[in-house]
Structure 1
Amino acid sequence: MSAMSTSWYRIKNLAKPDMAIDVKNDGNQERDGALKMAPDHDVTGQHWQLRPSPTNEGAYNLSTKWLGTKMLLDVYGSDKTRPHLSPAGDYTGQQWKVEKYGNGTWKLSNAYSGPLVLAAEESGSELRLKDPKSSPASQWILEPTVLGQ
């Protein structure tokens, strides 16, 4: 998994492989980066980097090319099921485990949300952390990418 720290990935959902995790361009993304599932496009909000956490061995901090390493994938302190991007800090909600399912997909969970895993909502447009059942909605494809491809 060492290549993750220098590579860029589009994070796509097995249940909806033509969709990727993206940042909502709502004017508030520098303070509270809302996320959505969006059609797979070559936009910097869909290019993710997974860097080893400096404070939690085996965990990763996830950032986008658009907002950089100052904004990391996190969950709200008041709602462990709602992912968003927030200013980088030493928060357990920003420390993500990236574990293989064994079928070419990955499970994403964080230290703050406990056993819950990142999943796409059935509508396909929203993200939540849910009970860790093995379903296509909670299985993620890390597609290596570079801008312009």
Structure 2
Amino acid sequence: MHYRRDAFSRNGLDTIVPLQPGVVLGQRETLSAIDIQEVRLFYGCGGTTEPNGFNPNIYYRLTTQWQGDGKSLDIDNDGTNNRPILAETGGYTGQFWKITPIGNGFYRLTTMWQGDGKSLDIVNDGTNNTPILAATGAQPGQSWKITSTGNGYYRLT
């Protein structure tokens, strides 16, 4: 359903306001690629959806099916490692992620906290594939596939 921005307001003001100025929440005239994909999955329809259903001008909160909305992907600012962790959901800028298409169906993930200068990366140190927030570059560990698993959940690979 699509409603006016003040449809549920008692005082005529916007019901939901984005954190970032100038960002439009949702859509009021058409379905997004994600909406279409979810309707197709719900009704068992075939077909494909445009691959870029993410808006690179807004930030997303990343949660897991396992922990739900109570925990979000955050960056532990320990001064050196900038390690991703699941932390209690809050208004922390390390929990807001921008998903930017970089071509061939891959995306780059950056945080509001560090901006475009640091990306979610996987460092292969020979024994472990360690996730970190690292300087943005043309590194294969910074290229992520995002695949819908249905019901609004996605898998990062």
Q: Deviations over 1:101-145 (max 9, x none)?
A: 012100000xxxxxxxxxxxxxxxxxxxxxxxxxxxxxxxxxxxx
State yes or no: 1:42 paired with 2:94.
Answer: no
Q: Which residue of the partner structure matches residue 100 of structure 2? A: 51
Q: Quick one: which of 10, 18, 21 aligns to 2:61? A: 10
Q: Which residue of the partner structure matches residue 116 of structure 2? A: 69
State yes or no: 1:22 paired with 2:96.
Answer: no
Deviation at 1:57, TM superposition (A): 1.7
Aligned letter for 2:152?
A: G
TM-score w.r.t. the length of structure 2 is 0.62
Distance in 2 (alpha carbons) for counterparts of 1:33 and 1:93: 15
Q: Runs ≥4 in structure 1, deviation > 3 angstroms?
A: none
* More strand, by proportion: 1
Aligned letter for 1:60?
A: Y
Q: Give identity over the alignment, percent.
A: 30
TM-score w.r.t. the length of structure 1 is 0.65
RMSD (CA atoms): 1.4
Q: Which residue of the partner structure matches residue 101 of structure 1? A: 149
Q: How many correspondences in the alignment?
A: 104
Distance in 2 (alpha carbons) for counterparts of 1:67 and 1:50: 14
Q: Label 1:38 to 1:91 Cα distance change in 2 as closer, same or farther (>3 A).
A: same
**Max radius of gyration: which structure?**
2
